[in-house]
Amino acid sequence: MTTENSCQHVAIIMDGNGRWAKKRGMPRTYGHKKGAENVVKITRSMKESGIKFLTLYAFSTENWQRSKDEVDALMQLLNEYLDKELKEIMENNVRIRFIGERYMLSPSIQEKMLHLEKESAENTDLTLCIALSYGSRQEILAATQKIAQKVASGKMDVSQITQEAFSNELYTRDIPDPDILIRTSGEQRISNYLLWQLAYTELFFTDTLWPDFDKNELCDIIQSFNKRERRYGKN
Ligand code: FPP
């Protein structure tokens, strides 16, 4: 008997690149390189599994505090990804979106992000949302400030501050909340990721390090989500 898939949005905290590299006696940056390769593989697997939205935590606001060498290596990988992946994204009918404080990134990276978003805007199979220089508390504060400004200028009444109005001020305004959150590498924290959006999300933690996370494990998680949902309903 096949279980119907009711999961449309998967969010992932891709953790464990550094430990994956250390286990092999390699530098942390090698782990990030393998992690970036896995982003491409897992994006394909998501599409094949019928997932419509995938949100990946690629770089948090806290990650700016890592060593300059590591930040530079991550930015370099991101640059390569933005240069190389347009073809794959278009061939696979993937729409790409970036969330986070993009003004913190270099102007050339920002330009490439905008270009990818524009080129892929009409694609419909999968929305790949990449969180870059992203922090959820910062996102919530920015939304609160925007709403406060609207109220102060008389454009909005206090009674109009609903959950929907608030969601509409977040980076994720037109993206449904995640059904599943996966964090790899055995850590069991949310780490300032999508705090508002994860309110009803099912959480899955795996010991697998991100570069080793594969389609089989993804399918197991989706299957287990479908069973959980049937048992507990959506509350
Ligand atoms: C956590 O591993 C991972 C990150 C800080 C960044 C994730 C980045 C990538 C997968 C590559 C770049 C992404 C794109 C979209 C091109 P960690 O360094 O915290 O690992 P550790 O906990 O084992 O040290």
How much is the pTM?
A: 0.95
Q: What is the pLDDT of residues 111-143, one digit of tens each?
A: 999 999 999 999 999 999 999 999 999 999 999
Q: What is the pLDDT of residues 72-91, one digit of tens each?
A: 999 999 999 999 999 999 99
- pLDDT-derived band of residue 233, with 50, 70 and 90 as boundaries? low
d(CA 185, CA 14): 8
Q: Which atom of ligand 1 is nearest to the CA of 209?
A: 23
d(CA 233, CA 73): 43
* DSSP structure class, residue 201: P
Strand-pairing partners, residue 130, are 56, 98
70, 72, 75, 76, 142 from 45: Cα distances, Å: 28, 29, 25, 25, 34
d(CA 46, CA 34): 18
> Residue 181 in contact with residue 202, Cβ under 8 Å?
yes
Q: What is the pLDDT of residues 194-223, one digit of tens each?
A: 999 999 999 999 999 999 999 999 999 999
For ligand 1, residues with CB inside 6 Å are: 14-19, 28, 32, 35-36, 39, 58, 63, 77-78, 81, 130, 185, 210
* Other CB atoms within 10 Å distance of the CB of residue 45: 18
> Residue 56 in contact with residue 97, Cβ under 8 Å?
no
> Residue 5 in contact with residue 175, Cβ under 8 Å?
no
What residues contact residue 65 under an 8 Å CB cut-off, 6+ apart?
none
Which of 32, 41, 188 for a ligand 1 pocket mutation test, highest count of atoms within 8 Å of Cβ?
32
What is the per-residue burial (b if ≥16 Cβ within 10 Å, else e) of 111-139? Answer: ebbeebeeebeebeebbbbbbbbbbbeeb
- pLDDT-derived band of residue 1, with 50, 70 and 90 as boundaries? very low
CATH superfamily to which 9-135+177-227 belongs: Decaprenyl diphosphate synthase-like (3.40.1180.10)
d(CA 191, CA 5): 28
2 Cα: distance to centroid of ligand 1 (angstroms): 34
Q: Is 15 a catalytic residue?
A: yes
Domain ranges of the chain: 9-135+177-227
How much is the mean pLDDT over the chain?
95
Position 99 scores a pLDDT of: 98
Q: What is the pLDDT of residues 164-202, one digit of tens each?
A: 999 999 999 999 999 999 999 999 999 999 999 999 999
Residue 164 corresponds to which tokens in the numbers above?
A: 């929907």
> Residue 47 in contact with residue 126, Cβ under 8 Å?
yes
Window from 2-6, 40-44, 93-97, 136-140 with minimum mean pLDDT: 2-6
